[in-house]
Amino acid sequence: MTARGVIGIIAGIATLSGLLFAMERLVDAMSGTTGGAPFMRNAPAMVLWLLWEAVSVAAGGFVTAWIARRHAARHAVVMGTLQAVMTLAAMFSVRDGGSPLWFWLVGIASMPPAAWVGGRVNAGRRSSPASGLPS
C-alpha cells in the first residue's frame, strides 16, 4: 500500500465522520436533544440514519479513491472495512440497549459495499474524459 493509499484511507474516514457528525448536530439542533437521541427510539428515523450513513461511507470511499488513484475501489473497500471494524468495537463498548442490535449490524454490514460504490463512482469519473473534473 502506498502513502497515497494510506492518506486516502485516513481522508475517507475523516470525510465520512465529518458528514455523520454534521447530521448528528443537525438532528440535535432540530430536536433539542444531544447525541442523536431521537434516532435511538424510532425505527423509521433509524432507517433514514442508516441511509445517511451509507451515503457518508460512499463519500468517504469516493475521497479515498480520489486520493489513492491506483486500485481506487480496493482502497475504498479497505477504508469501509476499517470503519466497519471500528464501528463493531464501538458497538461492544457503548451498546447499552439504547439502539437495537439490528441497527448496529445493518450499519456495519453496509459499510464495505457503500465504500466500494464510492470508489467505483470515482473510478468511473476519472475514466470519463468528458467529466471535466480534476483526477
pLDDT of residue 93: 86
31 contact partners, CB below 8 Å, separation of at least 6: 37, 38
- What is the arithmetic mean of pLDDT over 16-44? 78
Please say if the pLDDT value at position 17 is more than 90: yes
Domain boundaries, the chain: 3-126
pLDDT of residue 131: 47
- Is there a contact between 60 and 21 (Cβ–Cβ < 8 Å)? no
pLDDT tens track for 59-108? 999 999 999 988 889 999 999 999 999 999 988 887 666 788 898 999 99
Copy the grid coordinates of residue 10: 485516513
Copy the grid coordinates of residue 100: 437495537
Q: What pTM does this model have?
A: 0.85
Could you tell me where the beta strands, DSSP code E, fall in 49-126? Answer: none
